[in-house]
């Protein structure tokens, strides 16, 4: 006969096993999307160079800001990469507005991750969130540069 | 209760079906690109393997956190701290967790989905995801490239906008839901 203490321990252990097996089961559902995203990121790393990104900018501030947000939304990777590319863009004479929009949208908007976000968190949520983040990357760029000019 | 289970099952099947279709699409893309440039496509496979190795620790952490949240978090607890009645506390938690979380953004989707199923507000999910742009360990690198004042101003705006975006998403999605309910 099991004591009360032992059966409580057993049910606790069972709950741990159930919690983790549920976690693994839920996680395994997103593995195809996850592998797809990783493979797409690999393609981007291999096919798109920093020079290709820099060559797109035109010199017109408003056009470049929209371009900055668009490119930041399409490209993805570690934020460090966006800082390095952003720094290089500044050196090449691209406006701070465009570079800020580029850096802001790099992490907040994810066109490549969109299929995973839509599959897991819902299509409507993913599209609305990415659209808003795209627009806000330009708002943030304008606000940051204007504030910087006032402060500095 | 059975209907809820059926709906959940349907949602899971949809996620799996969508994921498999997407994965097959990417494989076909690789095959096509291989015929255009085999060297670059090989490099892409290598880059993908490297990315996978890099994110493995975070994947393990996410699975662990999902297990822990399944064990400890009851819908009542989640709704208290991250649900409709969480108030300012909820926004502060979402902002802080977004800033403190590490690794690629897509790795966090399953955990957020779990929390959403437990009652987390969608606005807080959006705020969490937005704040992943603010990474404390990376700030020195950003300061090196753009200067401390720029980074400070940008970070403050990012945090403010993350909450604005969360609120807006809730308003937009609620409007959609209301319209759908009315048309039904």
Q: Judge: A151–B44 Cβ closer than 8 Å, yes or no.
A: no
Instruction: Please give the helix or strand (H or E) that residue B8 lies within, else none.
Output: helix B2-36
Domain count, chain A: 2
Same domain, A38 and A109: no
Nearest chain B residue to A149, by CA: B150
| Residue B51 predicted with pLDDT over 90 | no
Contacts of A89-94 spanning 24+ positions with Cβ under 8 A: A89/A53, A89/A54, A89/A57, A90/B145, A90/B146, A92/A54, A92/A57, A93/A59, A94/A54, A94/A57, A94/A64, A94/A68
Taking the CA of residue A70 and the nearest CA in chain B, the distance in Å comes to 16
Taking the CA of residue A141 and the nearest CA in chain B, the distance in Å comes to 8
Q: Which of B11, B110, B122 to mutate to test the interface with A (most CBs of A within 10 A)?
A: B110
Same domain, A27 and A78: no
pLDDT > 90: percent of chain A: 30
Q: Judge: A46–B126 Cβ closer than 8 Å, yes or no.
A: no
**Residue A137 CA to its chain's centroid (Å):** 12
Cα atoms found within 13 Å of the Cα of residue A110, Cβ hemisphere only: 27
Give the pLDDT score at B6. Answer: 63
The model's confidence at residue B85, banded by pLDDT at 50, 70 and 90, is confident
Highest mean predicted confidence (pLDDT) among A62-71, A137-146, B54-63, B91-100: A137-146
pLDDT > 70: percent of chain A: 97
Give the pLDDT score at B1. Answer: 46
Rounded to an integer, the average pLDDT of B160-180 is: 92
Same domain, A28 and A96: no
Q: Judge: A104–B158 Cβ closer than 8 Å, yes or no.
A: yes
Could you report how far apart the first and last alpha carbons of chain B are, in Å? 22
Same domain, A18 and A43: yes
The model's confidence at residue B75, banded by pLDDT at 50, 70 and 90, is low
- Residues A53, A71: contact at Cβ < 8 Å? yes
Same domain, A133 and A145: yes
Same domain, A54 and A117: yes
Give the pLDDT score at A51. Answer: 77
Same domain, A127 and A83: yes
Q: Judge: A19–B44 Cβ closer than 8 Å, yes or no.
A: no
Same domain, A119 and A151: yes
Q: Which residues of A touch B133 (CB under 8 A)?
A: 79, 104, 106-108
Instruction: Please give the helix or strand (H or E) that residue B83 lies within, else none.
Output: none
**How large is the ipTM?**
0.77
Q: Which residues of B touch A52 (CB under 8 A)?
A: none
Q: Which residues of A touch B29 (CB under 8 A)?
A: 40, 43
Give me the total of CB pairs closer than 8 Å, taking one residue from chain A and one from chain B: 202
Same domain, A85 and A139: yes
Q: Which residue has the higher pLDDT, B35 or A78?
A: B35
Give the pLDDT score at B11. Answer: 63
Same domain, A87 and A103: yes
As a whole number of angstroms, the distance between CA B63 and CA B44 comes to 27
Same domain, A78 and A5: no
Q: Judge: A27–B109 Cβ closer than 8 Å, yes or no.
A: no
DSSP B102-171: -S-GGGGHHHHHHHHHTT--HHHHHHHHHGGG--GGGHHHHHHHH-HHHHHHHHHHHHHHHHHHHHHHHH
Same domain, A74 and A144: yes
Q: What is the pLDDT of residues B4-18, one digit of tens each?
A: 566 566 666 777 787
Q: pTM to 2 decimals?
A: 0.77
* Segments forming the whole domain that contains residue A149: 49-152
Q: Which of A19, A79, A107 sits opposite B70 (nearest CB)?
A: A19
Q: Judge: A83–B138 Cβ closer than 8 Å, yes or no.
A: yes
| Residue B7 exposed, middle or buried by CB count within 10 Å (0-12, 13-18, 19+) | exposed
Q: Which residue has the higher pLDDT, A3 or A68?
A: A68
- Nearest-CA neighbor of B125 among B170, B70, B177? B170
- HEC string of A78-91? CHHHHHHHHHHHHH
Q: Which of A86, A90, A107 sits opposite B133 (nearest CB)?
A: A107
Rounded to an integer, the average pLDDT of B138-154 is: 88
């Amino acid at each position: 006969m099991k004591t009360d203490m032992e059966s409580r321990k057993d049910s606790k252990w069972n709950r741990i096993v159930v919690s983790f097996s549920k976690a693994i089961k839920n996680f395994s559902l997103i593995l195809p999307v996850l592998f797809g995203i990783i493979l797409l990121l690999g393609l981007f790393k291999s096919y798109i160079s920093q020079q290709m990104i820099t060559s797109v900018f035109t010199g017109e501030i408003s056009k470049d800001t929209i371009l900055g947000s668009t490119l930041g939304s399409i490209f993805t990777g570690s934020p460090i990469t966006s800082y390095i590319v952003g720094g290089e863009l500044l050196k090449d004479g691209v406006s701070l507005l465009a570079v800020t929009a580029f850096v802001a949208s790099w992490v907040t908007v994810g066109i490549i991750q969109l299929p995973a976000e839509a599959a897991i968190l819902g299509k409507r949520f993913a599209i609305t969130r990415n659209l808003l983040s795209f627009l806000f990357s330009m708002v943030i760029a304008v606000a940051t540069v204007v504030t910087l000019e006032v402060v500095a | 209760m059975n209907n809820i289970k059926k709906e959940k099952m349907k949602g899971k099947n949809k996620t799996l079906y969508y994921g498999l279709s997407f994965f097959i699409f990417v494989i076909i893309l690789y095959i096509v690109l291989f015929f255009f440039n085999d060297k670059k496509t090989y490099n892409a496979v290598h880059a993908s393997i490297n990315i996978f190795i890099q994110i493995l620790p975070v994947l393990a952490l996410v699975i662990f956190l999902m297990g822990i949240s399944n064990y400890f978090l009851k819908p009542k607890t989640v709704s208290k701290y991250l649900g409709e009645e969480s108030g300012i506390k909820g926004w502060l938690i979402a902002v802080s967790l977004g800033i403190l979380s590490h690794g690629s953004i897509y790795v966090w989707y399953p955990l957020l989905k779990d929390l959403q199923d437990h009652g987390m507000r969608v606005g807080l999910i959006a705020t969490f995801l937005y704040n992943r742009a603010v990474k404390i360990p990376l700030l020195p690198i950003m300061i090196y490239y753009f200067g401390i004042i720029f980074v400070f101003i940008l970070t403050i705006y990012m945090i403010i906008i993350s909450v604005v975006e969360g609120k807006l998403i809730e308003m937009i999605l609620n409007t959609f839901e209301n319209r759908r309910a009315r048309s039904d």
